[in-house]
Amino acid sequence: MKLRAEIAQSWRRAELAGLKPDSPTDRIAGADVADIDTRSRLLRAADPVLDEISRHLRDARLLVLLADRDCRIVARRYGDKSLERALDAVSAVPGCRFSEEVSGTNSLATPYEVRRGMAVHGDEHFLDVLKPFTCYGHPITNPATGRLEGVLDITGLVEDANPLLAPFLLQAVTDIERRLLDGSNLAQQRLLAAFQAAQHRSSAVLALGEDVVLANSAAVDLVDPADHPMLRELSRTRRGVRRVQLSSGTEVEVRMEAVSVNAGMLFELAPLRPAYSAATRRRSAQSVVPADVEDRLRRSAAARRRVLITGEPGTGRGSATTVLAGPDPIARADAGELTLLGESEWTARLERLAATHQGLVVVRDVHLLPPPAVSRLARLLDKTSAWFAFTARTGAAAHGTGSPTGDSGVDSRVGGGVDAELLARVHRRAELPPLRARRGDIPTLARAMLAGVRPDGTPRLTAGALELLSAQPWPGNLRELETVLTDVTEGRSAGDITARDLAPLCPVTTTAPALSGWQRAEYEAITRALAAVGGNKVRAARDLGISRSTLYNRIRTLHITTTR
C-alpha cells in the first residue's frame, strides 16, 4: 500500500519510538494513566460543545474524543454503545495519553504531532488493532495565546466513513476556540481593570495571570522576571502583606490580592531599603551556597575552625569548602581513595598535608572512612594545628554517636553518618539544604549557572521557564539543575529558553500549593518518585508501595501535574 507523505512520516516516527504494527494497546494504559482535571480551562470551554455534539450523534456509530495539550484523552461523547466498547478495547479511554510513541498513527496523536487537521482511514493506522477505524482530528488552539490546548477527534468504523466528518468536527473546534477566547478575555479584562485601578494608589504594580503579565514602569524597573515564580508561590501560601527580598537584593513590602476566580493575582510593591551594591549582587549570584551558611563559613574561616559540611549529593559541598577557604589554598584528600591506596599510604599522605600545607585541608566524604582510619585521623587532629574541614553525605549510616561542641549560629544536627570519634574533634557544623528546600533561590542559581555554561552569551530564561524549574523536585540537587541547563543550551545559538524548551527535561509542571507539614512531605515524596521514573505513574506507585488509585488521589489532592 502506498502511503500519503504525512502518513508515511508518522509511521517512521512510530517505528523510531520502538512500536511494531502488532504492538498491543494495553501498553498505552500501562505506560501512563492520569486522573482528569474536570475544572480545566479546556473542559470548561469544551463541555457544552461536546454535549451538543452528543445530541447529533444519537444512535450513530460515531464517537468524539477530546485530548488535552499533553494528548491525554479527557472526554468522550458517543452515539452507539458498541463503538464505546470498541474504543475501550484499544485503550482509547479517558486518562490515557494517546501520543504517537505509544499509539502510532491516528487522528489524535498525528494532528497533535503535526499541529494541523488530518484524516486517518483504516489501513493508514500504524497499529493493526486500530485499522478497523476511520477518523478525523483537528488541533484546538487558544486564540488569545496561540498555544495548543488539545485535539478533537471524531471516530467511526471504516464501513461508516463519511466525507462530512471533517466539516462537522471543524465547526465544533471553532466553537471551542471561541469559548476559550471568551473565557480568556473575561479573565484578562478583570485582571486589566484591577491593574488599572491599583495604579492610582501604588507606584509599583504587577499583575500575573495564567497567560498575562502586566507591569507599570516602576514595577518593570523593580521586579525581574526571575522574581515572578517566587511571587506566584508566595501568593499560593498567603494573602495580605509580606516582606520579601527580590533577586536584585532589594527588600520590598508586597501587598497581594486575588483578582476574582482564575483571573490572576495583583501585587503592589514598595521598596523598604536600597538594593545591595553591584559587587554584593555579583557575589551572591556566583555563590551556590545559601547566604546564611556562607556567613557562618566565613566566620569559621576567621577563627580557622574545623568545620563539618554535610548535605545530599549535589548540594554544593565542594563549593562550600571553597567559600570556607577564601583566598587561602586548598588541599583535598578523598576518603573514597583509601581502598585504592591502602589505609597506611592514605593516612601518610594526609599527615604530610597537615605538616606542609599552609591553607585549608579538606577531607571529602569522611563518612566513608572505616573505624581504624577514623582513629588515626582523630590522633592526627589532636596533635596538629593544621586547618581542617570535612564533607559528608547527609543520611549515611553513623558509626557512633556524639555530642561535640558547636556554636550558636551553626546547625546542631549530627549528620553525614560521621564517626563519634571524629565528631568530637569538629568545632562547627554546617548542613547544606537540598535544592527542593531552596525554591526561591532557583531563578538566581539557574541564571548564574547559565552564565557559567555559556559565558560567551548567556541565553535569557523566561519567567515561565524559571517557574517550571522552581517546580521540580531536583533529587540530584544543584548538579542536576546544571545538567538540565547544559542540555537545554546545547546547540542553541540564540533565543530565550522557554518552558516548552525545558518541558522534556522537567517532569513536574506545577509548584505545590499551600500545604501542611505532612502534605509537604507527601508532595516531596511523590514528586521525587515521579522524577526518578520520568513521570511514569505506574512505576512511581510501585516504587512508593501504594496502589495506582491512591497515587492518583494524592496527586489530585496535592495539585501535582506532570508532563507525562
Domain positions in the chain are 5-183, 199-275, 291-432, 441-557
DSSP state of 96: B
Q: How far is CA 542 from CA 133, 241, 396, 548, 549, in A?
A: 35, 43, 25, 8, 11
Same-fold call for 5-183 versus 199-275: yes
Q: In this structure, are residues 53 and 172 in contact, taking their beta carbons and an 8 Å threshold?
A: yes
Residue 361: strand, helix, or coil: strand
The three cell numbers of residue 253 are 513590602
Q: How many CB atoms lie within 10 A of CB 537?
A: 22
8 A C-beta contact, residue 540 and residue 530:
yes
**Distance of alpha carbon 330 from alpha carbon 335, whole angstroms:** 16
Cell 548564574 sits at which residue? 448
Largest CA-CA distance found in the chain, in angstroms, rounded = 92
Tell me which amino acid residue 509 is.
T
- How far is Cα 258 from Cα 271, in angstroms, rounded to an integer? 21
Cα dihedral value 413, 416, 422, 427, nearest 10:
-40
Beta bridge partners of 33: 96
| DSSP H/E element including 382 | helix 371-383
Q: What is the domain class of 199-275 according to CATH?
A: alpha beta
- Give just the sign of the alpha carbon dihedral 534, 540, 542, 544: positive
In tens digits, the chain (564 residues) has pLDDT values of 788 999 999 999 999 888 899 888 665 654 556 677 777 889 988 999 998 888 887 778 888 999 999 899 999 988 777 888 888 888 888 888 888 988 999 999 999 999 999 999 999 999 999 999 999 999 999 887 778 999 999 998 998 877 777 888 888 999 999 888 777 667 777 888 888 888 776 689 998 887 678 888 888 888 887 788 788 877 766 567 888 888 777 889 998 888 865 678 889 998 886 544 433 433 443 468 888 899 889 999 999 999 999 998 999 999 999 999 998 899 999 999 998 899 999 999 999 999 999 999 999 999 999 999 999 999 999 999 999 999 998 754 333 333 333 333 333 334 445 778 888 899 999 999 888 888 778 888 888 888 887 777 667 888 778 888 887 888 889 999 999 998 888 866 667 888 888 888 887 665 444 555 566 667 777 877 887 777 788 888 888 888 877 887 788 777 676 655
Which residues on neighbouring strands pair with residue 153, listed in sequence order?
Answer: 65, 137
Residue 53's SS3 state is helix
CA angle (515, 519, 522) in 5-degree steps: 135
**Cα distance between residue 488 and residue 466, in whole Å:** 13
Local structure of 362: helix, strand or coil? strand
Alpha-carbon dihedral of residues 41, 43, 45, 49, nearest 10 degrees? 170
Residues 6+ away with beta carbon under 8 Å from 9: none
Q: What is the pTM of this model?
A: 0.51
Of 5, 494, 509, give the one whose Cα is nearest residue 229.
Answer: 509
CA distance 259 to 207: 9
Q: Give me the DSSP letters along 525-560.
A: HHHHHHHHTTT-HHHHHHHHTS-HHHHHHHHHHTT-
pLDDT for residue 507: 72
> What are 457's three cell numbers?
552569551
For the stretch 250-269, what's the b/e string if a residue is b when 16 or more beta carbons lie within 10 angstroms of its beta carbon?
bebebbbeebeebbbbbbbb
Asked if residues 543 and 528 have their Cβ atoms less than 8 Å apart, the reply is no
**What's the pLDDT at 512?**
46
Instruction: Give the CATH H-level superfamily of domain 291-432.
Output: P-loop containing nucleotide triphosphate hydrolases (3.40.50.300)
- The SS3 assignment for 544 reads helix
Q: Domain spanning 441-557 has what CATH number? A: 1.10.8.60
CA separation for the pair 234, 254 (Å, rounded): 10
- Extract the runs of DSSP E, i.e. beta strands, from 32-145: 62-68, 73-78, 118-121, 133-141
Closest CA to 510 of 297, 153, 233: 233
Joined together, the cell numbers standing for residue 259 give 483578582
Q: By C-alpha distance, which of 446, 449, 478, 480 is closest to 463? A: 446
> What pLDDT is recorded for position 64?
92
The Cα–Cα gap between 376 and 97 comes to 59
Q: How far is CA 93 from CA 28, 144, 204, in A?
A: 10, 29, 49
In terms of C-beta density within 10 A (0-12 exposed, 13-18 middle, 19 or more buried), how is residue 313 classed? middle
CA distance linking residue 485 with residue 462, whole number of Å: 13
Q: What angle do CA 89, 95, 99 make, to 5 degrees?
A: 80
pLDDT score at 520: 67
CA distance 391 to 365: 5
For residue 254, the SS3 value is strand
Three-class secondary structure of residue 15 per DSSP: helix
8 Å CB contact between 142 and 45: no
Q: Are 395 and 275 in contact (CB under 8 A)?
A: no
CB 243 within 8 A of CB 252: yes
In CATH terms, is domain 5-183 a member of 3.30.450.40? yes
Q: Shortest CA distance to 65 belongs to which of 160, 157, 156, 158? A: 156
- Encode 403-461 in three state secondary structure: CCCCCCCCCCCCCCCCCHHHHCCCCEEEECCCHHHCHHHHHHHHHHHHHHHCCCCCCCE
Residues in the chain: 564
